[in-house]
Structure 1
Amino acid sequence: MIIFDHVGKKYEGGFQAVQDVSFQIERGELLVLIGPSGSGKSTTMKMINRIIPHTTGTIRVNGKDNTTYNPSELRRNIGYVIQQVGLFPHYTIAQNIALVPQLKGWNEKAIEERVEELLLLVGLDSELHASRYPKELSGGQQQRVGIARALAAKPDILLMDEPFSALDPITREELQKELLTLHEQLDITIVFVTHDMDEALTMGDRIAIMKDGRLLQLDTPEKLLYEPAHGFVEQFMGKHRIIQNPELMPVTEIMAETVTTAHPNLSPERALSLIRQKKITDLLIVDRQSKLLGAVSAYDLIKKMDHIQTIEEIMTPIQPILTTKATSKDAIILMDEAPSGLIPIIDDTHQLIGLVTRGSLLTAMSSQWTEEVVS
């Protein structure tokens, strides 16, 4: 458990980076900190392991004031993953992962077993990757190693500072899913900083929205959307008057009409090339009459492409689906049920005419809210 009690951070010169922040992170929770640039989200997270010392208030980690810990020992017991990964270039992958257990005095056999266990856990083959160097790995593989290194000494807290923001969309979604699986398996407390609302909605048990060093609201994604406690929260989450107004906006007004589609007989290689080119994570499958048949996720495609001839073999039904008669409110309500964060829009003949994603929905809602404020 982590408790912030009236915590602040003031730098020399008078700049107040974080102001009077109080909240509690439950054991085993995945909490996302989000806000615009300069909001204090990364500073707040870094005060937990004292990379940045707080100047007022108290931070308790597992019931103990974090200033009473030896700083080095505190950091060795809290995993830390950053955007740039930070692997040591002249160390092998195994040596990078083994670093903290070595500092904590683990014996060689225990370290070797832990390295092998963690590489398997993050989806890397120990025989293929343990002896390689970071420059020989892709960005996604390096980030997997970064996560493995952070977990090496079996910490009960993991801090993640925009860990996936530099990755391509396919790799990013894959690692998001695998981190959620790890979180469930390990029952570890994770504090995750991001600037991306889609990522926050995907990852967070709760989301803390910050602005100008202040915590404006900390709640579940659903409560932030439907019960914002502050005007900025309402704007940032993209909440719109349609949640309250009986005159609802048609879903056709917020959908994207240009949708990347493919036919079911497409080869997996061409499908993956199309996905990468369009920077999407799910490919909608239609027949020759543009009738919606299903979807193929980039995640499934990468995992199974060596075992299939056409994408039809891994195509899955897609739910939920909305018709042109639906409203934007319908899309908001159903978005939580959309596992890939997208809802196809079809007409009466089942032809695909558009698509609503979590990101486009929030952008549209935020845009409408801004127009109302300006007017």
Structure 2
Amino acid sequence: MLKFENVSKVFDGGFQAVKSVSFDIPTGEFLVLIGPSGSGKSTTMKMINRMEPHTSGKITINGKDTNSYNASELRRNIGYVIQQIGLFPHYTIEKNIAIVPQLKGWNDKEIKARVNELLELVGLDPEIYATRYPKELSGGQQQRIGIARALAADPDVILMDEPFSALDPLTREQLQNEFLSLHKKLKKTIVFVTHDMDEALKMGDRIAIMKDGKLLQLDTPEKLLHEPAHGFVEEFIGKHRIIQNPELMPVIDIMSESVYTALPQWSPEKALSFIRQRKITNLIVVDDDNILVGIVSAHDLIKKLDDIKIIEEIMVSREPFLYDTSTAKDAIIMMNEAPYGILPVIDKTQKLVGVVTRGSLLSAMSSQWTETGDIQ
């Protein structure tokens, strides 16, 4: 549990960036901080690891006041991912990831194993990438290394300051999906700063909207869209981003019909090659008649590559799934139980007809455009 109690930040000169903010972040939650420039969102996040010391109030992690820690010790136990990534250009990828474990006194064997584990976790082959340098990697690959480095010492809390904003749209969406899958597996407490409302709605278990240093509303994406508690919140989300009645919206209107599928008898090598070529993170598994069988993830394929012969051995159950007669309300109810955040949609013959993700669900249920075509 991460807790803010009447926390304020006043900079030299008297500017109050954060004004008596109070909220709790339960263990394992993905909290997004969002607001216009100067709202105090980044300052609020940086006060957690004392990159910006708070002026008044109290911040605790699992009941312990952050001011009671040595600042360096505190930061070594909190992962931190930034937009600029901040990799050391003269260090190999392996050395970049190993920095915090080395500072914490891990031995070489432990560090080597952890680096290899994390590279596999973020979808990069250790044999290929461990000895490379940052300049030899693409922007998306570098950001993966930034995430791996933040996870290196297995911290309970990870801070992310607009980590994907500098990436191209395709790479950004891919990394968003991959990180959501990672979060579902690792259950870390995430505090994520963004200026993009669509990203906030996609990523956050809850979203905190800030303005002029004040916390205006902290709620689930669905609650924010249904019940904005403040005029600015409604305006910031977008007056035309109006949720339709989910009980009346057919799931076939919100599902994607573009689905990448695999057969149960595919080898893990074939499935991984297919995944990498299409820059995706999961495959829906169907039989020869397109009957839904299950789901397999890139993470599980990499982890079990040498232990299995066919992907059927590690695919997860096809449940939960939706029928094409379901509604968006059904999707909302079932989404929290969906492996990898994916709900396959089948017809009455059990054949796959589409998929619904949490992001596509919220996006499809809200109108992003005004009548004049201006995006909100």
Normalised to the residue count of structure 1, the TM-score between the two structures is: 0.69
The separation in 1 between residues aligned to 2:160 and 2:360, in whole angstroms, is 26
Counterpart-to-counterpart distance in 2, 1:348 and 1:102: 56
In structure 1, what is the Cα distance between the partners aligned to 2:282 and 2:3?
Answer: 37
Q: How does 1:10-25 map to 2 (within 5 A)?
A: 18-25=18-25
Residues 324 and 345 in structure 2, CA contact (< 8 A), matched pair in contact too: yes
Unaligned runs of 5+ in 2: none
- Counterpart position of 1:122: 118
Structure 1 pair 182–117 and aligned structure 2 pair: CA distance change class (3 A):
farther
2:209 is aligned to: 210
| RMSD across aligned positions (CA) | 4.6
Q: Using the alignment, how far apart are the partners of 1:236 and 1:224 within structure 2?
A: 8
Offset of residue 361 of structure 1: 0.9
Contact 2:242 2:366 in 1 (8 A): yes
2:57 counterpart residue number: 58
- Tell me the alpha carbon deviations over residues 170-219 of structure 1, each in whole angstroms, 9 at most, x when there is no partner: 666555545555556xxxx6534455346634xx5xx2421435423335
Structure 1 residue 320, shift from structure 2 partner: 2.0
Q: What letter matches 1:41 in structure 2?
A: K
Deviation of residue 363 (structure 1)?
Answer: 0.6
SS of alignment partner, residue 337 of structure 1:
coil
> 1:5 aligned to 2:6?
yes
Which residue matches 2:43?
43
* Residue correspondence of structure 1 range 69-108 to structure 2 within 5 A: 75=75, 78-92=78-92, 95-96=95-96, 99=99
1:23-72 deviation line (CA, Å, top 9, x unaligned):
2345x454512435635433320133343455x64343455474x97766
Amino acid at match of 1:215: L
2:146 to 110, 134, 143: 143
Structure 1: distance between partners of 2:91 and 2:368: 51
Given that residues 202 and 359 in structure 2 are in contact (C-alpha distance below 8 angstroms), is that contact kept between their aligned partners in structure 1? no
Distance in 2, Cα, partners of 1:127 & 1:285: 29
- Structure-2 change in CA distance of 1:6 and 1:303 (3 Å): closer
Q: Does the C-alpha gap of structure 1 residues 268 and 116 become closer, same or farther in structure 2, counting only changes over 3 Å? A: closer
Q: Deviations over 1:98-128 (max 9, x none)?
A: 6557778x5xxx5546634643663569999
Could you say which residue in structure 2 is the equivalent of 1:291?
A: 291
Question: Secondary structure at the residue paired with 2:366?
Answer: helix
Amino acid at match of 1:294: G
Contact 1:240–1:365 at 8 Å: present in 2 too?
yes
Q: List per-residue Cα deviations over 1:255-282 (Å, max 9, x = no partner).
A: 2233333455556555444434544333
Letter in structure 1 aligned against 2:6:
D
Structure 1 residue 242, shift from structure 2 partner:
1.9
Q: How does 1:356-367 map to 2 (within 5 A)?
A: 356-367=356-367
Aligned partner of residue 245 in structure 2, secondary structure: helix
Note the alpha carbon deviations across 1:117-145, whole angstroms, 9 max, x for none.
64366356999987765456753662354
CA–CA separation in structure 1 for the residues paired with 2:298 and 2:42: 30
Which moves more between the two structures, 360-369 or 259-268?
259-268
Q: What does the per-residue CA deviation read over 1:63-88, in whole Å, with 9 as the maximum and x for residues that have no partner? A: 5474x977666545644232443222
Which AA in structure 2 matches 1:5?
N
Q: C-alpha separation between the residues in 2 aligned to 1:353 and 1:179?
A: 27
Aligned-residue offset at 1:240: 2.9
How far apart are 1:362 and its partner, in Å? 0.2
Deviation at 1:332, TM superposition (A): 1.4
Match of 1:352 in 2: 352
- The residue type paired with residue 321 of structure 2 is I
> Displacement of 1:328 after TM fit?
1.7
Quick check: 1:240 aligned with 2:243?
yes
5+ unaligned residues in a row in structure 1: which ranges? none
Q: SS of the residue aligned with 1:122? A: helix
Query: Does 1:253 find its partner at 2:249?
Result: no
- Output the CA distance in 2 between the equivalents of 1:58 and 1:317: 47
Write the letter of the residue equivalent to 2:118. V
Q: Percent identity?
A: 50
Q: Which residue of 2 aligns with 1:336?
A: 336
TM-score, reference length from structure 2: 0.69
1:120-269 pair list within 5 angstroms? 122=118, 133-135=133-135, 138-139=141-142, 142-143=145-146, 145-148=148-151, 151=153, 157-163=157-163, 173=177, 176-178=180-182, 181-183=185-187, 190-193=190-193, 196-197=199-200, 200-201=203-204, 204=205, 207-213=206-212, 214-219=214-219, 229=229, 232=233, 240-242=243-245, 248-264=248-264, 268-269=268-269
How far apart are the structure 1 equivalents of 2:368 and 2:227? 18
SS of the residue aligned with 1:3?
strand
**CA deviation after TM superposition for structure 1 residue 339, in Å:** 1.4
2:335 and 2:215 map into 1 onto residues whose CA distance is: 26
In structure 2, distance between residues paired with 1:29 and 1:123: 22
Pair 288,233 (structure 1): closer, same or farther in 2 beyond 3 Å = farther
**Cα distance between partner residues in 1 of 2:128 and 2:81:** 23
